[in-house]
């Protein structure tokens, strides 16, 4: 039986690279991202590496969407063995006092709440 990993932020960068590396070792992947294009590209890359993969579109800053990606992973694969809570953003890089409140909310939502919700629902 193959192991199963959920990777958030898997539509590009480190998440995508990790998905491909794990797939080459036979790990099936639940690709989670807000980008359908990037997420579906990662799924194709994983499948070319010989593992199974599904794409689940999710905003990790929303608890109900995190619960949904966990539920869909278990529904499709039957288990979760690994969790790479990778989704994150850096923001505009402006001095904090010049950063809009909406941007601060987005950064905290993705980088902090996304990680906390992930741990909560995967556990």
- Can you say whether the dihedral through the CA atoms of 33, 36, 37, 39 is positive or negative? positive
**For 2-29, what is each residue's pLDDT tens digit?**
999 999 999 999 999 999 999 999 999 9
pLDDT in tens, 40-85: 999 999 999 999 999 999 999 999 999 999 999 999 999 999 999 9
Contact 15, 84 (CB under 8 A): yes
pLDDT recorded at residue 26: 97
pLDDT, position 110: 97
Q: What's the alpha-carbon Rg for the chain, to the nearest Å?
A: 15
Please report the domains of the chain, with CATH numbers, ordered by start residue.
Answer: 4-122 (3.40.50.720)
Counts for the chain of helices (H) and strands (E), in that order: 5, 4
pTM to 2 decimal places: 0.94
Query: Is residue 98 over pLDDT 90?
Result: yes
Burial of 111 (0-12, 13-18, 19+ CB in 10 A): middle
Nearest to 106 by CA among 58, 62, 76: 62
Q: How far apart are CA 113 and CA 121, in angstroms?
A: 12
């Amino acid at each position: 039986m193959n192991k199963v990993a959920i990777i958030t932020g898997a539509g590009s960068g480190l998440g995508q690279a990790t998905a491909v590396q794990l797939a080459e070792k036979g790990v099936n992947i639940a690709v989670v991202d807000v980008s359908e294009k990037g997420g579906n590209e990662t799924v194709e890359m994983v499948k070319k590496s010989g593992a199974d993969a599904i794409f689940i579109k999710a905003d990790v800053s929303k608890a109900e969407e995190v619960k949904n990606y966990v539920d869909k992973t278990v529904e499709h694969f039957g288990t979760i063995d690994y969790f790479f809570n990778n989704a994150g953003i850096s923001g505009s890089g402006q001095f904090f006092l010049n950063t809009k409140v909406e941007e601060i909310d987005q950064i905290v939502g993705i980088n902090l709440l996304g990680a906390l919700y992930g741990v909560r629902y995967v556990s």
